[in-house]
Each structure stands twice: as structure tokens, then as C-alpha cells.
């Protein structure tokens, strides 16, 4: 099997013959959708939010595909499956029930109602209008800009191992191709093209993950045989087939960060801005949860069998005293599978990456355009809807180009750069830590103040900046047990940043009521508006 990892021309031919036509059809479909949707992207509201009329299936799949990228399938599934065994499935289930079901239930309806009432189109814009503060908008926009670009760049990493194995294509070519194709359909079609393509990509992800799990289990004699072999393996053991795995505490932190974090990420919360109606919210909640159970649960469940391939990993040089190359675990598991399954996985990984990338660049460009550039330009003269959309398209090109360049340099010139690697690692925690608490409390509690939001911004980003400094060796907390635990890695500090924000915001609000918006009752009256509904929905 180790010889197959080199994939000479003869071995790769069947996979390539099947993969290339599938990829051509996939690319053609993505671009066609972008051109078809260009008529729905003529003004800001349509380009950014799809006119706030997107149905449950498109919204749910857009939420799910933005959530789960190739990083999860290739990187996280391999890493956490290797470390926790079958217990890593809890991460996927946490993503489904905390990151999807609970997020939709707690944030979905209220986000849709208040953002429309306030007329906000982005998360920084929400902070300005909810708390009557342009300062908050500027700070939030800066946080998005600084931390979303490295997060976006990290999306390309999941493609390298798989594409290099199948096609022997240079990493830079893969990055450039994906960036261009994603840019084309987002630039032309805006949010609606992204949502439709997310739906198509989501179908591919669902089919692909089910197919690969079935194939891997069949390759190991079925589910029961695979579990027994894992439990008896000298490289794993019974703890890798137990309910909570060999390290339950670390597992809990992974579940919390990857699940609760979505509540504060601009590209995730933004999906609720555009949903059509009440019925769409109810259906979308169910669809999104089922999607997450299959995709996230399936990915981590698959990764749990990673140590069955220890010998193959060792023979290929992917294990050493320095550690395991986790991004090689899943590709190694796939080497002996039928060519058609590998081809499907190639499209799956590409679809997962492109869907998340499109969501991130649309979020980044709209935030920078609407919250920073447009207000600055309007000091001199009014900016038309057409010009605003044009500026957003320019920034989409900018963000895609910058993230692609960072990804390429990270793989070549900056390959040994601890700073870049750690910057990518802390991005999720910084964004979620800064935004989760002020956004959620802003939807529910009238007494949430501007000062408490600033405190959350400082605390969330501050914790992750300290984590970054510790990780690259600029700062040390040795000898301080509590800090050593918090800053064990970006997963621990990310959870601390989010939970800390949830505590800090209400406490600071109690002592800073002078910074409470004067017209806060008007902002919340949107929830009191009387609506007419059918008897099957409410008793009245």
C-alpha cells in the first residue's frame, strides 16, 4: 500500500480518467450557476443577502457547507480521529446539535427579525445600529479583516495532500485554480449563486461521505471487524473504541470550540439574515442538523479508524519521533479504495473547500465595503447601489488573491513559519471569542451596553493574541498552572475566550448603564409586532 502513496502513472490512471470528467462537469456547473444568478445581484441587498428571500434548503445547506470545509475532512478528522479514536464522533455530533440545531433555535429567528428591523447587512453593521456606535463597527470590521484572511488561507491546506496524491499537481496550481473558479461564480452571482452552489456542493458532500465510510469499513471487514481490530491494535487499544476515548477533557474542549464557535462567526450568522420566513426557519433547523450529523459525524467517525493504517503511515514516512502528519491520515486510508470512490472524494474535498471559501470572501468583502469603504466615500458624495456592488466585487478579488498568496507562501517560502501556522489556528477562536457574546446578548437583553461589547472585543482577541505569542515563543507562562492550562493550545484558549465573553458582557453591562443606547426599546419593538399565522403553526 505504501507504494501506492507515490501513485505512479499506471496506478493513478483509472482515478484520473474518472476524476477529470467529474471535475470538468463540476466546474462547468458552478460557473453556469454564477452566470445564471447575475440578474439577482444588481443591488447591495440582493448581492449580499439574496434579497432576504432564501428558502430553507438553500439556507440550511449554505450554513452546513460554510461550516464544514476540507479542513475538517482531511485535517481535523485525521488529527482528532487519530488522537481520540471512535470517540471523535462526539465532535461531529456536537457540531450537529450545538453548532447547528441550538444555533438555529437560539439565533435564527431573532437574528432575522432584528437585522431586518435595523437594516443591518453585516455583523459590524449590526453592532453599530444595535449599540449606536460607529466605533464598534470600525473595531469589528478590523477584527474581521485581520483574522478572517488567515482563516480563509487555511482552507486550501485540505486540498494539497489529496490532489497531490491523485494528480501529482503542484500545490500552487491547485490553489490558483480553486481561487479563480470560486471567484468567478461569487463575483457574478453574489449570495444567491453561492447559496445554490452550496446546495449542489452539499449534495456531493453527503453522497461522498456515506460512500467513503462504507468503502473504508468494507475494506476492513465491516464495522464490527474494524472496531475489534482497532481495540486489539498495538498502536491503539480498547480506549480508542471506548465512549469518551483516551482524553475526555481535551475532547470536550474540541467539541465546545468547534460547535459553540459558529455562534459568533460572521460568515455563519450571516446566513440567518437572508432566510425567507418562519416556515423556512423551522425546516432549515431540521435540514441543517441532519446535514451536520451525516457530514460532520461521518467525517470524525471515519477518522476514528485512522490507527488501523499505522503501518502504512509509518512505511510512507508520515510518522516519526517528531509526531504524526495528520493531514496524511485520511489520504492514506483512501489509497486502496476503488477509483470511482477516490474520484468522488476528490470532488467532495473540492466542493467542501469552495463552499466555505465563497462564504468567507463574500463576508469579508461585504464587511469591508459596507462598513469601512462606503462610509468613508460618502463623506464626499453619495455612493450608488451599483457602485457599491462593483466595489464589493473588487474586494472579493482582493480577498481571494491575498488568501491564495498566503496559502502558497505558507507551503513554500513560509513552510517553517510558526507564526503563520499559529495565526491560522487562532483565527476561529479570536472571531468567536470577540463576537459571540455581544451578538447573542444583543438579540436578547435590552441592558447590554456598548462598553460591554468593547470589553468582549478586547478580551476575545486579546486572549488569542497572547496564545499566538506563546505559541511562537515570544511569551512564556511556565510556572503559572492556570495560565499553562488555558494556553495549552488554541483550542483551550478559544473556548476560554468564548465562555469568558459570555460572563464578561452581562457583568460589565451592570456597571456601565450610562453607555446603554437611549432608544433601545425601539430596537426591540420588532419582536412585539403582531403577525397573522395559520392554526397549524400556532394556537393563537
Comparing 328 with 305, which gets the higher pLDDT? 305
pLDDT, residue 160, reads 65
Kindly tell me if the per-residue pLDDT of 43 is higher than 90.
no
Confidence of residue 474 (pLDDT cuts 50, 70, 90): confident
d(CA 520, CA 448): 10
pLDDT, residue 189, reads 86
Instruction: Quick: pLDDT tens for 231-281.
Output: 998 888 899 999 888 889 989 988 988 898 889 999 889 889 888 888 889
Q: Torsions phi, psi of 323, nearest 5?
A: 140, -175
Kindly tell me if the per-residue pLDDT of 5 is higher than 60.
no
Please give the mean pLDDT across all residues of the chain.
86
Confidence of residue 6 (pLDDT cuts 50, 70, 90): very low
Contact predicate 269/111, CB 8 Å: yes
Q: What secondary structure, in 3-state letters, does 61-121 show?
A: HHHHHHHCCHHHHHHHHHHHHHHHHHHHHHHHHHHHHHHHHHHHHHHHHHHHHHHHHHCCC
Size of the chain in residues: 540
Contact predicate 49/205, CB 8 Å: no
Kindly tell me if the per-residue pLDDT of 165 is higher than 70.
no
What number is the average pLDDT over the span 393-397? 90
What number is the average pLDDT over the span 356-363? 87
What number is the average pLDDT over the span 72-88? 87
- For 371-380, 409-418, 445-454, which range has the lowest pLDDT when averaged over its residues? 409-418
Sign of CA dihedral 463, 469, 473, 474: negative
Kindly tell me if the per-residue pLDDT of 170 is higher than 50.
yes
pLDDT, residue 526, reads 87
d(CA 60, CA 96): 12
Confidence of residue 537 (pLDDT cuts 50, 70, 90): low
The pTM is what?
Answer: 0.89
pLDDT, residue 1, reads 43
Contact predicate 438/498, CB 8 Å: no
Comparing 444 with 24, which gets the higher pLDDT? 444
- What is the greatest pairwise CA distance in the chain? 73
- For 4-13, 198-207, 286-295, which range has the lowest pLDDT when averaged over its residues? 4-13
pLDDT, residue 540, reads 47
pLDDT, residue 420, reads 64
Query: What is the residue whose three cell numbers read 482515478?
Result: 15
Kindly tell me if the per-residue pLDDT of 193 is higher than 50.
yes
pLDDT, residue 461, reads 95
For residue 102, give Cα distances in angstroms to 114, 259, 335, 399, 534. 19, 10, 37, 31, 25
The rounded percent of the chain whose pLDDT value lies above 90 is 32
Instruction: Quick: pLDDT tens for 271-308.
Output: 898 888 888 899 999 999 999 999 999 999 999 998 99
What number is the average pLDDT over the span 346-360? 85
Q: What secondary structure, in 3-state letters, does 470-523 show?
A: HHCCCCCCCCCHHHHHHCCCHHHHHHHHHHHHHHHHHHHHHHCHHHCCCCHHHH
d(CA 480, CA 494): 19
pLDDT, residue 49, reads 80
Contact predicate 368/395, CB 8 Å: yes
pLDDT, residue 140, reads 94
Domain boundaries, the chain: 2-415, 416-527
Kindly tell me if the per-residue pLDDT of 97 is higher than 90.
yes
Kindly tell me if the per-residue pLDDT of 79 is higher than 80.
yes
Instruction: Quick: pLDDT tens for 454-468.
Output: 999 999 999 999 998
Contact predicate 100/67, CB 8 Å: yes
Instruction: Quick: pLDDT tens for 16-39.
Output: 778 888 888 888 888 898 888 887
- For 156-170, 174-188, 420-434, which range has the lowest pLDDT when averaged over its residues? 156-170
- 112-121 in b/e form (b: 16+ CB < 10 A) is bbbbebbebb
Contact predicate 238/78, CB 8 Å: no
What number is the average pLDDT over the span 331-350? 84
**DSSP one-letter code for 275:** B
What number is the average pLDDT over the span 353-358? 85
Kindly tell me if the per-residue pLDDT of 429 is higher than 60.
yes
- Determine the topology of domain 2-415 in CATH: Sodium/glucose cotransporter (1.20.1730)
pLDDT, residue 538, reads 55
Locate 347 and state its grid cell.
Answer: 470532488
For residue 245, give Cα distances in angstroms to 78, 82, 84, 158, 351. 15, 11, 5, 25, 31
Kindly tell me if the per-residue pLDDT of 370 is higher than 50.
yes
The rounded percent of the chain whose pLDDT value lies above 70 is 93
Amino acid at each position: 500500500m505504501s507504494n501506492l502513496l507515490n501513485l505512479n502513472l499506471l496506478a493513478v490512471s483509472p482515478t484520473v480518467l474518472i476524476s477529470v470528467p467529474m471535475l470538468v462537469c463540476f466546474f462547468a456547473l458552478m460557473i453556469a450557476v454564477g452566470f445564471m444568478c447575475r440578474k439577482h445581484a444588481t443591488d447591495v441587498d440582493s448581492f449580499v443577502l439574496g434579497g432576504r428571500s432564501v428558502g430553507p434548503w438553500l439556507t440550511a445547506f449554505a450554513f452546513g457547507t460554510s461550516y464544514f470545509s476540507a479542513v475538517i475532512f482531511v485535517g481535523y478528522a485525521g488529527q482528532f480521529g487519530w488522537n481520540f479514536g471512535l470517540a471523535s464522533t462526539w465532535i461531529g455530533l456536537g457540531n450537529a446539535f450545538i453548532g447547528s440545531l441550538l444555533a438555529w433555535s437560539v439565533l435564527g429567528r431573532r437574528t432575522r427579525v432584528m437585522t431586518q428591523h435595523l437594516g443591518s447587512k453585516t455583523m459590524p453593521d449590526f453592532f453599530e445600529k444595535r449599540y449606536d456606535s460607529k466605533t464598534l463597527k470600525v473595531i469589528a470590521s478590523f477584527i474581521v479583516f485581520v483574522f478572517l484572511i488567515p482563516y480563509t488561507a487555511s482552507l486550501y491546506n485540505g486540498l494539497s495532500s489529496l490532489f497531490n496524491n491523485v494528480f501529482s499537481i503542484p500545490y500552487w496550481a491547485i490553489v490558483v485554480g480553486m481561487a479563480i473558479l470560486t471567484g468567478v461564480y461569487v463575483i457574478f452571482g453574489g449570495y444567491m449563486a453561492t447559496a445554490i452552489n452550496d446546495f449542489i456542493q452539499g449534495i456531493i458532500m453527503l453522497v461522498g461521505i456515506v460512500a467513503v465510510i462504507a468503502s473504508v469499513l468494507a475494506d476492513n471487514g465491516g464495522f464490527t471487524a474494524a472496531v475489534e481490530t482497532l481495540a486489539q491494535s498495538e498502536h491503539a487499544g480498547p480506549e480508542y473504541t471506548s465512549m469518551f476515548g483516551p482524553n475526555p477533557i481535551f475532547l470536550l474542549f474540541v467539541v465546545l470550540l468547534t460547535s459553540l464557535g459558529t455562534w459568533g462567526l460572521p460568515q455563519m450568522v450571516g446566513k440567518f439574515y437572508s432566510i425567507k420566513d418562519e416556515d423556512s426557519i423551522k425546516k432549515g433547523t431540521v435540514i441543517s442538523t441532519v446535514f451536520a450529523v451525516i457530514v460532520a459525524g461521518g467525517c470524525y467517525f471515519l477518522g476514528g479508524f485512522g490507527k488501523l493504517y499505522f503501518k502504512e503511515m509509518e512505511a510512507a514516512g508520515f510518522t516519526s519521533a517528531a509526531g504524526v502528519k495528520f493531514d496524511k491520515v485520511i489520504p492514506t486510508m483512501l489509497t486502496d479504495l476503488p477509483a470511482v470512490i477516490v474520484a468522488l472524494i476528490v470532488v467532495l474535498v473540492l466542493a467542501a473547500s469552495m463552499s466555505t471559501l465563497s462564504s468567507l470572501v463574500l463576508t469579508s468583502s461585504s464587511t469591508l465595503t459596507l462598513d469601512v469603504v462606503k462610509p468613508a466615500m460618502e463623506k464626499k458624495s453619495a455612493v450608488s447601489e451599483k457602485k457599491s456592488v462593483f466595489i464589493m466585487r473588487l474586494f472579493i478579488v482582493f480577498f481571494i488573491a491575498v488568501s491564495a498568496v498566503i496559502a502558497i507562501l505558507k507551503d513554500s517560502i513560509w513552510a517553517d513559519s510558526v507564526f503563520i501556522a499559529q495565526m491560522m489556528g487562532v483565527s476561529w477562536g479570536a472571531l468567536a471569542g470577540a463576537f459571540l457574546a455581544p451578538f447573542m446578548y444583543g438579540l436578547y437583553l435590552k441592558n447590554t451596553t456598548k462598553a460591554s461589547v468593547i470589553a468582549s472585543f478586547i478580551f476575545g482577541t486579546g486572549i488569542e493574541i497572547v496564545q499566538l505569542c506563546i505559541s511562537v515563543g515570544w511569551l512564556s507562562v511556565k510556572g503559572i498552572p492556570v495560565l499553562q492550562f488555558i494556553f495549552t493550545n488554541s483550542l483551550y484558549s478559544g473556548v476560554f475566550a468564548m465562555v469568558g465573553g459570555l460572563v464578561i458582557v452581562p457583568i460589565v453591562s451592570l456597571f456601565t448603564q450610562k453607555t446603554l443606547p437611549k432608544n433601545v426599546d425601539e430596537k426591540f419593538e420588532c419582536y412585539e409586532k403582531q403577525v397573522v399565522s395559520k392554526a397549524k403553526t400556532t394556537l393563537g
